[in-house]
Structure 1
Amino acid sequence: MLRSLAIRDMLLIERLDLEFHPGLNVLTGETGAGKSILLDSLGFVLGWRGRAELVRQGAAQGEVEAVFELAEDHPGRAVLAEAGIPFEDELILRRVNTAEGRKTAWINDRRASGEVLRLLSETLVELHGQHDDRGLLNPRGHRQLLDAYAGAESLLAEVRGHWRALAEARRAREGAAARLDTLRAEEDFLRHAVKELDQLDPQPGEEAVLDSRRRLMQAAVRLTGDIHRARAALGEDGVERLTLDALRWLEDAADGVEGRLDAAIEALGRAMGELSEATAGVEACLGALDTDPGELERVEERLFALRALARKHGVQADDLGAHADGLRERLEALDAGDNGVAKLAQAEAAARARYDAACDALSALRRGAAKALDTAMAAELAPLKMERAVFQTVLTPAEPGPEGADAVSFEVATNPGAPAGALNKIASGGELSRFLLALKVCLSRGVTGVTMIFDEIDRGVGGATADAVGRRLRALAEGAQVLVVTHSPQVAALGAHHWRVEKRVKDGQTLSDVMPLSADQRVDEIARMLSGDTITDAARGAARALIGA
């Protein structure tokens, strides 16, 4: 609910502070007094698009502040939470416009963008009038209005969930099909590469073993002669024989020298052990170097094949085995691909069936709500002297989406037999106002928390019809807040709170003021609306009669 509105230096308003109340709030005044300025200022602080030049002439900047009271379940709280703006019970919107055109907004003293302000305003205020393209006259919002009337929230949530599931199933199937097409395009390569790798059968670490073996065999060709000569020098015809001879001779002489050769004999014994070990090492080396003459060729052929295949596939030789496994998996995916895509297509078809079923249920709910709304509208139009008019909620097939597969539009025919058409194209000014009022009365049942503003919605009607309009507005304001800008005394007389908008001249400048009216002042204002500038006792009597009716 809008609690207060403070305006500083905006258009013709120098300073204005207004306190609003629940129920039907009425604003009246002569044509040109500035009622539209008040709405322009409210629209400015709410972030609506409007006049480009709003700052009062001669002022450095204009400012508007609006204070709202929000219930605990008010949808505006979700917008505030999403924007990270702290909030308790009181919502303060403030917006400044400099003379140069720069605009700055605050929400509860926190800087806010115009987009956040507009999102918030959609939960706070509804403006209805003959030139309102944001509300009931906007065909793009008719489906949402019908869904709210039908109470379709849970079914809509189900449809949206099935739509997301269908989109995911479609993406999965399309992705699998695309991957399968890619695999098919490289099938020949995959089969050849896997066959080639399987034939070579590379093993982890094999390259290092082969490389070491190759270097050893290359060295063997060069070193074998020297090692054989060393073996001969150490063997039976070399050092070993001479050492054995020396050891035997010394042992034969040892008894005659009373132990003086014992140490030498022991040393030669140890030397014989070392010679034996050295000879065994040389023979082992000769055994390792003693290879098949064709072995080096075979090792080199295997090593070069490994390295060539690694270069071909852009991997390390030790990774060829894992690379082969990856190619094999892709080939297996190719072989099983058709079956996988078929299963995903079945899953997509099942998801589509669930979505279609939910859409059908939602369409049935909408058709029932459309009939109920048309019946309710007929009941509302009759007291507004439009009993011959026909209101139709038209459902047509639409491209399936998260909101279902229906397009909704509100159409009217003002006379029997006349073609039906869009609200804003068929109805005249006065008829349009009454259509909008009746539609709002029907759609607002059970809706709370929004301040509704009707800008001269009674234009073009008078007498009993104006009285019917006023009574509908008063009924709409029960338990809610409605602001009405009106020229109709019948409507003004039914208001719970009344303000008069008037112009005055101060220091050569024309300014607009808005004043709350006392009971006597209210009688005079309605009398003026009945009789003109000259207020007669008869007009006052008629005004009292209207107020008391």
Structure 2
Amino acid sequence: MLTYLAINNLAIVEQLELDLPAGMTVITGETGAGKSIMLDALGLALGDRADADSVRHGTPKAEIHAHFDITKLAQGQRWLKENELDGEDSSECILRRVIHANGRSKAWINGQPCSVQQLKQLGSYLIDIHGQHEHQSLLRKDTHLILLDEFAHLEKSVQKQSQIFRDWQKCRRQLEQLKNQDSEQQARLELLRYQVEELEQLALEDQELQTLEEEQQKLANAETLIAEGQATLELCDGDDNSARQVLNYACQRLSQIPTQDARLNEINQLLNEALIQVEEASRELNYFVDSCELDPERLQFVEERLSTIYQLARKHHILPEELYQHSIQLREELDRIESGPQNIDLIAEQLEGLTQIFREQAAQISQKRRVAADKLNRQINKQLALLGMGSARFETRVQPTEQFQSTGLDDVEFMISTNPGQPAKPMIKIASGGELSRISLAIQVVTAQTSTIPTLVFDEVGVGISGGTAEIVGKLLHDLAKSGQILSITHLPQVAAQGDQHLHIRKFSTKNSTKSEMHWLDEDQRVTELARMLGGVDLTEQTLAHAREMLLGSQVA
């Protein structure tokens, strides 16, 4: 649920911080005071389009922070993890949106930069806004299917159907690829056969190129290596004034000096170590010279093989060291294409089996959806009657489709007829925002026990109603808040009286600016606000008494 909202320099709000509790929060204020700014802020935090007009005049940017408790929101946690946007605390999600005065905006999720599209995707799990607002999920057909499946407890069955659908899609793609072996692919096949045969005749081994290049260097320079090696060996360990003889003589002379000077002992030790190093180097150099051979035939073979390797690499437009792996890849591609015709019948048989399984599973889900749809229709129409829309008729239309989908073979859409004798139409074509809000409320009341969205916002849900119906709306919202969080912007005192807490919005102007402020009302302040909503600016004792009675009655209830 939404636990914290901070707004800075948005429209006429200079600065606002709200800690929001669970239950039902009502938001009231005079017309034009800025009640919609809170919804605008939430909308921007959830990915709404931003523009320069959103920024408070004279300031460089507007900023919104929204914190959500997602402890019980498995879908939201899973989405954050899949998109690598989860924070250190898996129970909390923090959204941030900054809109600059030039109209550009930036967004963050848990401190990490994100796209506006990602905000929208995540927002669909966090909050649902009902009323004349862009975030009305009930206007999206995909939401209708989700709500119906949740109401029918079909989540696990649909997950299984989705996996079958993915397997079916994969199998169908494989079959299509095999069947689409046209003339172009035949040409590719012939080229592959030629290339593979040429490379396999070369019979290049792994790491052979490096070995050949090292051997070629050694063979090509063998004469020079032998001559220079022997000359160096003579200098190190020859018979006449070699390094070994000189060092040996120096060690003897130094050891004959009759002194106990520690420095001379250290020098003598260094000379002895140098003598040992020269002797070791002489032995290794001798081994090296002995290993060098003059072999012109072997040199010619190595150079010819290297030339062949370099030519093939240029022919395939790759580096010589890539030729070995390239030959393996070409052989694998050739084997895959050549084995295609043998696989067509097998994959076609697999696809037929998956198609049968998909249809059987989809038929079972469809039957359960139709039964659930009838039950959902009855319950929602009952709630609509309580909300003053007794002549309206709600219908969950479940129509079969031949197009395979991850959810099965059903097209689900919520339909409504608001006047007797009129055919039911899609909800998106409902013109009245007030009617749509009440329809949304009726649906949410029925599906509250199965819906996974923790925070519901109702904007002027009571438009066009009053009296007893308004009181029913308030009670329904209060009951709905018992299983989640409700934010209700309202002008109806009957609704406002039902809130667990009351937030008031006030606008005031100075010589150079206009500001909007929000603050929580205590019980006495709530009575005064309810009285204003009941009777206008001039408050009478009778109006105050009525307001106090309304508030007390809601608390007792």
TM over 0.5: yes
Residues in 2 aligned to 1:183 and 1:84: alpha-carbon distance in whole angstroms: 43
Q: Residue 470 of structure 2 contacts residue 492 of structure 2 at CA under 8 Å; is this kept in 1? A: yes
Distance 1:74 1:344 in 2: 37
In the alignment, the residues of structure 2 paired with residue 493 and residue 520 of structure 1 have an alpha-carbon distance, to the nearest angstrom, of 12
Give the equivalent residue in structure 2 for 1:103. Answer: 105
In structure 1, the residue matched to 2:462 is 458
1:356 and 1:181 mapped to 2: Cα distance? Answer: 36
The match for 2:447 among 433, 439, 443 is 443
Shift of 1:342: 3.7
Counterpart of 2:312 in structure 1 is: none
Q: Which runs of 5+ in 1 are unaligned?
A: 194-203, 206-313, 315-325
**One-letter amino acid of the counterpart of residue 506, structure 1:** T
1:147 is matched with: 149
Equivalents in 2 of 1:417, 1:104: separation in Å? 50
Q: What are the superposed Cα offsets for residues 471-497 of structure 1, whole Å, 9 maximum, x if unpaired?
A: 111111003110000011100010010
SS at match of 2:66: strand
Superposition pairs for residues 82-231 of structure 1, below 5 Å?
A: 82-88=83-89, 89-132=91-134, 134-179=136-181
Report the CA distance between 1:526 and its aligned residue: 0.6
* Identity rate, percent: 36
What is the CA-CA distance between 1:29 and the residue it aligns to? 0.7
Name the counterpart of 1:539. Answer: 543
Listed one character per residue, the Cα deviations across residues 490-536 of structure 1 (whole Å, up to 9, x for unaligned) are 00010010011111113421111111111011001010001111111
Return the offset for 1:449: 5.6
Q: Deviation per CA, 1:260-288: give whole Å up to 9, x if none.
A: xxxxxxxxxxxxxxxxxxxxxxxxxxxxx
SS in 1 for 2:53: coil
Secondary structure, counterpart of 1:53 in structure 2: helix
In 1, the alpha carbon distance for the partners of 2:65 and 2:185 equals 65
Equivalenced residue count is 416
In the alignment, is the contact (CA less than 8 A) between 1:126 and 1:135 conserved in 2? yes
Cross-structure match for 1:352? 355
Matched, 1:371 2:362: no
SS in 1 for 2:7: strand
Aligned to 2:409: 405
- CA shift digits 1:196-237 (9 cap, x unpaired): xxxxxxxx99xxxxxxxxxxxxxxxxxxxxxxxxxxxxxxxx
Q: 1:506 aligns with which of 495, 506, 510?
A: 510
The match for 2:49 is: 49
**CA distance in structure 2 between the aligned counterparts of 1:530 and 1:73, rounded to whole angstroms:** 39
1:439: Cα distance to partner?
A: 0.9
C-alpha displacement of 1:182: 8.2
TM-score, scaled to structure 2 = 0.68
Is the deviation greater in 17-26 or in 143-152? 143-152
Q: CA contact under 8 A between 2:27 and 2:502: conserved in structure 1?
A: yes
Q: Distance in 1 between matches of 2:160 and 2:453?
A: 26
Alpha-carbon distance, 1:30 to partner: 1.0
For the 8 Å contact 1:27–1:483, the answer to whether it is kept is yes
Code of the aligned partner of 2:477: L
- Separation in 2, partners of 1:485, 1:183: 64
- Structure 2: gaps of 5 or more residues: 195-200, 203-314, 316-330
1:449 to 1:430, Cα distance in 2 relative to 1, 3 A: closer
Cα shift at 1:434: 1.5
Q: Secondary structure at the match of 1:369?
A: helix
Change (3 A) 1:175 1:61: closer
Task: Describe the superposition over 1:123-157 as per-residue Cα deviations: whole angstroms up to 9, x where unpaired.
Answer: 21111113445411223432222222222222112
CA distance in 2, matches of 1:8, 1:180: 62
Return the alpha-carbon distance in structure 2 between the equivalents of residues 168 and 47 of structure 1. 33
Q: Alignment partner of 2:435: what SS? A: helix
Aligned partners of 1:43 and 1:50 also within 8 Å = no
- Alignment equivalent of 2:499, drawn from 495, 500, 503: 495
- Matched-pair contact (CA < 8 Å) for 1:74–1:449: no
User: 2:131, 2:434 within 8 Å by CA — same for their partners in 1?
Assistant: no
| 1:433 has 2:437 as partner | yes
Equivalent positions of 1:239-318 (< 5 A) are none
Distance 1:417 1:115, change over 3 A: closer
Q: Distance in 1 between matches of 2:145 and 2:59?
A: 45
AA matched with 2:103: G
